[in-house]
Amino acid sequence: MSILFINSSPNHNGNTAKLARVLLAGHDYQTLDLADYKLYAYGQNFADDQLDDVMTEVAKADTIVIGSPVYWHNLNGLLRNFLDRQYGRVAPEFAGKRLFFLFQGQAPTPEILAAGEYTMSRFAGYYDMDYMGMAYNASQAKKLAKEV
């Protein structure tokens, strides 16, 4: 089983990555930092766009872990942009994979957590993935780790 952690935090070793280490303790995994790729906004077309590079890595994995810090009471912009770029595109790279979501922030409200979980569970369903759940702190990540 291959695991890909898609880190949407601009801080490669920040709290989102730390939460991934808790979830994925004891497992080998690859990290893809979205901040290292040029993913333009939905509708923009530039020759140096790297969405295809990201999707090549997604295609190689059996399990996808997506992590986002909470920015402005929601998913951060790097993740939102990645999700927006999937809009209207046939994405067989996702089909049949398991998806875990990490949503890390300073005391997010139940409404923020519910919105993040809703977005990611809907995303998983739309692309025929098995949504395994969300963790928002180390305790939750340890519980969810049993499913990895």
Q: What is the pLDDT of residue 92?
A: 87
19: three-class secondary structure by DSSP? helix
Range 5-11 average pLDDT: 98
List, for residues 107-122, the tens digit of each pLDDT value: 889 999 999 999 999 9
Q: What is the pLDDT of residue 73?
A: 87
Range 14-35 average pLDDT: 98
For the chain, what percent of residues have pLDDT higher than 90?
A: 91
Please give the mean pLDDT across all residues of the chain. Answer: 96
Please list the helix, strand and coil fractions of the chain in percent, rounded to the nearest 5, in that order.
40, 20, 40
**CB within 8 Å of 98: residues ≥ 6 apart:** 62, 63, 64, 129, 130, 132
φ/ψ (deg, to 5) at 94: -90, -25
140: three-class secondary structure by DSSP? helix
List, for residues 52-108, the tens digit of each pLDDT value: 999 999 999 999 999 999 998 899 999 999 999 998 787 788 999 999 999 999 888
Q: What is the pLDDT of residue 46?
A: 97
Q: What is the pLDDT of residue 88?
A: 78
Q: What is the pLDDT of residue 11?
A: 97
Q: Which domains does the chain have, with CATH numbers?
A: 3-147 (3.40.50.360)
